[in-house]
Amino acid sequence: MQKFDLIVIGGGSGLDVASAMAQHGLKVAIIEKDRLGGTCLNRGCIPSKLLIHSADIAETIRNAEVFGIKINNGYSVDFGKIMARVNGITDSDSDSIKKDLLQTDNPKLFTKECKFVGKKEIAFYTEEEEKNDYKPDEIITAEKIVIATGTRPNIPKIKGLEEGVFITSNEALRLKKQPNSLTFIGGGYIACELAHFFGSLGTKINIIQRNNVLIPNEDEEISQKFTEVFSKKYNVFLGYEMDSVTKNSMNDGNDDDEVTFHLTANNKSGKKIELDTDKVLVSAGRVPNTSSLELEKTGVKTSEKGFIEVDEYLETTSKGIFALGDVVGRYQLKHNANLEAKYAYGNIINYDEKRQVDYTAMPHAVFSSPQVAGVGFTEQELRKKGIGYLKSTYPYIQTGMGEAIQDKDGFVKFLVNKNDRKILGCHIIGTDASVLIHEVIISMRTGDGTIASIANTVHIHPALSEVVSRAASSI
């Protein structure tokens, strides 16, 4: 049995902890059965945003005539080139990480599937070995362990929805051929980002959403405006539950490129919709990668949904075992996982003086069109908590740059405490929302957090950030 000072399971943000601990002089093992770099680099934020940039360019070209630019001969889409560029970049980065790890003994990389066989003992196996009741001959152990195994797409129980019938975001980011039509089951941020990508390039988009709005976790006014804008571009079916998915009988199913599917869904009033589509993309949330770890052997508790329970220091219910990132389920965001990795490292190194993770002003963004960004409470959350607040909104189009770029739908919304004027939340929909939110984040996290800190800051005229200033000055 090999002994280490630290074992990290997961090659995403867990890599940060492993590398830092190795540099600190500890003997470290890192386990990653898949590509190095985690979900973000390989199946998430990096490849999706690289693809979305192509969509943004296509959308700009389509709208060029608004600004006096005529595209007389139109344009064409080289889907294969777009995908090859994106996957070439991400695969190269992932391969580079693996190459660097293989050239060093610390941290030591293990590339097999793993599971706990004791409280702090981990064994390795392949799927085939597991089927054959394999007895592991290699077991590693450490006093400190970090679990950073992330999440995977959730697959709801729907009649006919089985492997080979649907794709998830994982496969969508690796498609070789652009589908003529694509139907999303679910209307959260993953669906809306990928719908923007494929739709902007010419794919017919259908979205079947059980909720009455898209991206329902956003502030209610943001969700409503986003749904309104998206419904003008794509076929959006709100309030529908999926009934079944079947392969169309006209196809023999031998050629994946030729197979199409028939979907049925129903709403609460009994109305039924039927759709035919080239591809079915399931985007119904994500579930943690914990089921195969056999955590019951460690004393590590999980929630009903399988997320690992941790305290304010990221330590699990088993002393010396920590968890971070999406597998914890607090904020399923890469920048949150990176933040937690810093705390996990510090709390392992200084175990007797652990620090509570500071989640103040944790922001997020949706890189669709329009973009969405938010930080702090939504208005519906404040009502539910009974917190007194003031609010203001200001439209992009009533600023110089907003008019220049003709963003008629965008706006900034502030929610402010009635008593101390502290910013309780800020929500933005429109051009560069993911960038504009940052001065609010800084004020809330490291400044005095008041609306005056935004309103009293001199903003460049006529930069787009004036819309943030004017929204702040309107309270």
Residue 284: which of 167, 171, 175 has the closest Cα?
Answer: 167
Residue 382 and residue 345 share a domain: no
Residue 346 and residue 375 share a domain: no
Residue 381 and residue 330 share a domain: no
d(CA 94, CA 102): 13
Q: Is residue 224 part of a domain?
A: yes
Q: Could you say which of 296, 327, 353 is where a domain stops?
A: 353
Strands 108-110, 28-31: pairing is parallel
Report the length, in residues, of the chain.
475
Residue 382 and residue 397 share a domain: yes
Residue 184 and residue 217 share a domain: yes
Active site residues: 461
Give the CATH number of the domain where residue 429 resides.
3.30.390.30
pTM tops 0.85, yes or no: yes
Helices (H) and strands (E) in the chain, counts: 15, 21
Residue 25 and residue 109 share a domain: yes
Q: Could you say which of 329, 353, 377 is where a domain stops?
A: 353
Q: Is residue 161 part of a domain?
A: no
Residue 222 and residue 125 share a domain: no
Q: What are the φ and ψ backbone dihedral angles of 426, each rounded to 5 degrees?
A: -140, 135
Residue 308 and residue 349 share a domain: yes
Q: Could you say which of 284, 306, 321 is where a domain stops?
A: 284
Q: Is residue 412 part of a domain?
A: yes
Residue 378 and residue 320 share a domain: no
d(CA 342, CA 327): 16
- Residue 72 is predicted with a pLDDT of 87
| Dihedral angle sign, alpha carbons of residues 239, 244, 245, 251 | negative
- Residue 253 is predicted with a pLDDT of 47
d(CA 368, CA 55): 9
Mean pLDDT by 10 residues, the chain (475 residues): 96 96 96 94 94 97 95 91 97 96 94 94 81 75 98 95 90 97 98 98 98 98 98 98 86 59 93 96 97 95 97 98 97 97 98 97 98 98 98 98 98 97 98 98 97 98 98 96
Q: Which residues of 296-315 are buried (b: 16+ CB within 10 A; e: fewer)?
A: eebebebeeeebbebeebbb
Q: Is residue 160 part of a domain?
A: no
Residue 110 and residue 31 share a domain: yes
Q: How many domains does the chain have?
A: 3
Give the CATH number of the domain where residue 264 resides.
3.50.50.60
Range of 331's domain?
2-152+287-353
Residue 213 and residue 85 share a domain: no
- Residue 136 is predicted with a pLDDT of 73
Residue 139 and residue 173 share a domain: no
d(CA 181, CA 261): 10
Q: Is residue 271 part of a domain?
A: yes
- Residue 445 is predicted with a pLDDT of 98
Residue 222: which of 393, 450, 435 has the closest Cα?
Answer: 393
Q: How many Cβ atoms are within 10 Å of 178's Cβ, its own excluded?
A: 18
